[in-house]
A and B are shown apart, each in its own frame.
Chain A
Amino acid sequence: MTFLRLVRVNLRRHWVRTFIGVAGIAFGCAAMLTILSIVLGAIGMFERILDTDSQVLVFERNVSDLFFSSVPETAAAEIRGLPGVAAAHPVLFGIVSAPDHPIVTCFGVERDNPRLAQAAWLAGSRDRFGSAGEVVVGERAAAFLRVAAGDHLSLGHGEFTVGGVIRTANGFEDGGVFLPLAAAQAFFHREKIASVVAVKLADGARVAEFKEVVARRFPTLIALENREFAQGYSQFRILKLTGWAVGVCAFLLGGLGVANTMLMSVFSRIREIAILRVCGFSRAQVARLIVAEALTMAATGLVAGLALGFALLAVIEAVPQLNGYVQASVRPAVLAGIAGTALFTALAGALYPAWFATRIEPAEALRYE
């Protein structure tokens, strides 16, 4: 017999109890994987929207959300004319409702915007973008709005014709509607305003210089590299923090499950632990046995939880009602974090039961049995 066999036998003996402990960890893992992957995926999608063929974002300083940012069109034109600027593309973000769809994201862009240039045009063409009363919809938006090129589309109080359907690499954009910038400004009552200006520099190494110029010439605006923006944007930070907090709470519940399972296990095996001590097990060996049982449960729960999490993500991504807004991003760091949290939780949950088990005095335990 090996130590691992003893662990396995002990866990299998009360399999319902073991299953409950494993399930606690598994649900914690699955919750953490699902939530974090969705949150990070959403952030990643938004980052990709912003950094399409650009290095720097210019937007209103101290704004809480890019949807509320206002960059005057004159500033955008001036930025475009700054030395070292290869391209500057103003984008206006807006939210509107459509019949049966309370939230549809709109992008006000110019015809030469790289996201239109890089998209696959499934219907229509970029040359026609900007025609009066026409909008272009992403492929997923076309699916959930049930429209095709040439169809009529109601957005808010406006009536449009679908001039084209595009497929982008970004689920967030794919679920959106593209309007000519001027039309979007008029529609959202934000005349001569953009939310952000995405800037591509001729020399990518001169970002600092460009940021200084923006700070000097446009005191109400701020220029940030895409990476800086992603790290500092408060909405992203809140989202990430929420994801981790919910995940850790799920794990705490899982950890309590493990602690409860191990405590019950130790309480019901006092005589057996005494027998192990009679046969020469040291206190450390007994503690190792309890901890190994908890870690085995955690490892099993981790594998099951990750499998469950991946399955959930696949299901969520496939749900048409989610409009392609969910593009999960499973990162190695997240997987490592989940594994670490699972094992740490199990270890923490096993500490008291293990300590209790080492305190069992064999003579006393056998005397009262």
Chain B
Amino acid sequence: MNEPAPRPTPSPPAVSVSGVWKSFDGGRVPVLADAGFTVARGEMVALWGPSGSGKSTLLHLVGGLDRPDRGEIRVLGEPINTEAARVQLRRESVGFVFQLHHLIPDLTVEDNCAVPALAAGHPGDATRSRIAELVAAVGLTHRRRHRVQDLSGGERQRVAICRALMNRPPVILADEPTGSLDEETADKVFALFRDLVQRTGTTLVLATHERRFAEACDRVLRVSHGRVLSI
């Protein structure tokens, strides 16, 4: 008798958030109330909403930078409810891009890009070639030994993108990545960012209040009063 072939296990979504509550200041400032959404692998999803709607808090929770009061968050099917899991998540599974780039000013472009590899203990040779590949992709090869404090805003954000992609994380969390740039630079940086993410099949969760960037994604989720709504 022939045994039935095993059914392929569906791979878990890249991001799964369900019933998440979060407040600050001892509960006096509620931010998220029963928020939930999922993002499939390789998908580009925008969390769109006005300032203060809870977009950044959601990204922080998904990236293991903060803990929810209630609810469950899984990234690539793994819960992130312990400190060790959150550290592992930030090292290997997610990369962050912030509005204010958050680079270390006294380090060079290369050194800033190398920080995630240093945290993960990756060997130097592999790190160097990965940095060379990334800075070339964002057009900063000629600036790679410059300190980031000497770069323009757009260049800094491109370095931040390189750093986020350094350890080849399957998920990128971007919090208003073009929010501090002028319109022309913002368009260029966003196009570059989207291109890199699409080319590598990386999942992108983008928090933005700008409709044009949200609409450039595969799907838009509206964040309002602490809840996540599909559009």
Contacts and interface: CB of A to CB of B under 8 A. Distances in A.
24 contacts: A1-B110, A1-B111, A1-B115, A1-B118, A1-B127, A5-B111, A6-B118, A9-B107, A13-B106, A275-B102, A275-B103, A278-B90, A279-B115, A279-B116, A280-B90, A280-B119, A280-B120, A282-B119, A285-B119, A361-B65, A361-B66, A363-B66, A364-B66, A366-B98
Contacts of A271: 102
Nearest to B124: A2
A233 interface: no
A276 B120 CA distance: 11
A283 B102 contact: no
A6 B107 CA distance: 8
A189 to B, nearest CB: 74
Nearest to A272: B104
A281 interface: yes
Contacts of B91: 280
* Chain A to chain B: the 5 pairs with minimum beta-carbon distance, closest first: A280-B91, A280-B119, A363-B66, A1-B114, A363-B65
A283 B104 CA distance: 18
Q: Contact size class for B? A: 20 to 34
Nearest to B93: A280
B178 interface: no
A363 B60 contact: yes
Given A363-B65, A366-B65, 17 more contacts: A1-B107, A1-B114, A1-B118, A6-B111, A272-B104, A275-B102, A279-B90, A279-B116, A280-B116, A280-B120, A280-B167, A282-B119, A362-B66, A363-B57, A363-B60, A366-B98, A367-B56
Interface string A271-299: 11001111111110100000000000000
Interface in B83-109: 83, 87, 90-92, 96, 98, 100, 102-104, 106-107
A210 B82 CA distance: 74
Chain B contact surface mostly: helix
B222 interface: no
Contacts, number: 69
B87 A280 contact: yes
A272 B148 CA distance: 14
A18 to B, nearest CB: 13
B65 A362 contact: yes
Interface string B107-142: 100110011101110001001000000000000000
B144 interface: no
A289 to B, nearest CB: 10
Contacts of A281: 87, 119
Given A3-B118, A9-B106, A271-B102, A279 B163 contact: yes
B102 A276 contact: no
Contacts of A6: 107, 111, 118
Interface string A219-251: 000000000000000000000000000000000
B118 A2 contact: yes
B87 A282 contact: yes
